Amino acid sequence: MNRLAVCEEAARIMDQQGIRDFQVAKTKAVERLGLGRRFPLPSNREIEQALKQRLRLFNAEVWADRCRLLWRLATETMEMFSSYNPRVVGPLLRGIVTDKTPVELHLFADSPEEITNSFLEYAIPYECFDKRVRFRRKRYALIPAFRFACEDVNVELLAFAPKDIREAPLCPVDGQPMRRLSLPRAREMLAST
């Protein structure tokens, strides 16, 4: 019973506060429910399932509209950056869409500067940051990343080396290699939303 309550509270926190870190959401949920620090936390997958149920139960129409918007923005961005073999990853691909969910794409370029030149070409204001990702065999890497806003949605592009197209980083939810969706498949997803 308490485990289910933690899942539901963590899902509520992630939905309402836009928190993307499962550990942070679980810790806040346990604190709010007064269960103590030693309470065994549910898995990220359990929280993700609770979040999916919450989104479809409480926000079904808004959720569907937001999915369409994010798939459209993902597809448009992938078309703009098509020379970098873009792939959709993350919450959108997993069906976790809140009003704070970003579009996340992996790009593959010889250098991050190539992607910077594309931003300049399209006159898109952007910010740079590094994102820590985990690969198999407990290997971590800081990946150059870019963020820009479009229609009140953050779009995040991670700039991987071309060789990294063969090895996806691990998903923070289930620890498996991230699913990556190509542009033709993203167009199919957009058409089906």
Q: What is the pLDDT of residue 167?
A: 92
Q: Verify that 109 and 33 share a domain, yes or no.
A: no
Q: Verify that 40 and 106 share a domain, yes or no.
A: no
Q: Verify that 92 and 137 share a domain, yes or no.
A: yes
* Confidence check: pLDDT of 100 > 80: yes
Q: Verify that 12 and 45 share a domain, yes or no.
A: yes
Q: Verify that 136 and 187 share a domain, yes or no.
A: yes
Q: Verify that 78 and 42 share a domain, yes or no.
A: no
Model confidence over 58-91: pLDDT tens digits? Answer: 767 777 888 999 999 999 999 999 999 999 999 9
Percent of the chain with pLDDT over 90: 62
End residue of a domain, out of 58, 80, 104:
58
Q: Verify that 77 and 49 share a domain, yes or no.
A: no
The boundaries of the domain holding residue 130 are: 61-192
Q: What is the mean pLDDT of residues 113-128?
A: 94
Identify whether the C-beta of residue 95 lies closer than 8 Å to the C-beta of residue 83: no
Among 4, 193, 188, 183, which residue's Cα sits nearest to residue 88?
Answer: 183
How do beta strands 127-135 and 103-108 pair? unpaired
Q: Verify that 105 and 122 share a domain, yes or no.
A: yes
CATH number of the domain at 120, please: 3.30.460.10
* Confidence check: pLDDT of 1 > 70: no
* Confidence check: pLDDT of 157 > 90: yes
pTM given for the model: 0.84
Q: Verify that 51 and 65 share a domain, yes or no.
A: no
Give the C-alpha separation, 54 to 9, whole Å: 10
Model confidence over 23-57: pLDDT tens digits? Answer: 899 889 988 888 877 888 899 999 989 988 888 88
* Confidence check: pLDDT of 95 > 70: yes
End residue of a domain, out of 58, 82, 97:
58
Q: Which residue has the higher pLDDT, 137 or 183?
A: 183
Q: Verify that 83 and 42 share a domain, yes or no.
A: no
Instruction: State how many domains the chain has.
Output: 2
Q: Residue 126 — very low, low, confident or very high, per pLDDT cuts 50/70/90?
A: very high
Q: Which residue has the higher pLDDT, 145 or 99?
A: 145
- Mean residue pLDDT of the chain comes to 91
End residue of a domain, out of 42, 58, 74:
58
Q: Verify that 93 and 172 share a domain, yes or no.
A: yes
Give the C-alpha separation, 16 to 12, whole Å: 6
Q: Verify that 87 and 175 share a domain, yes or no.
A: yes
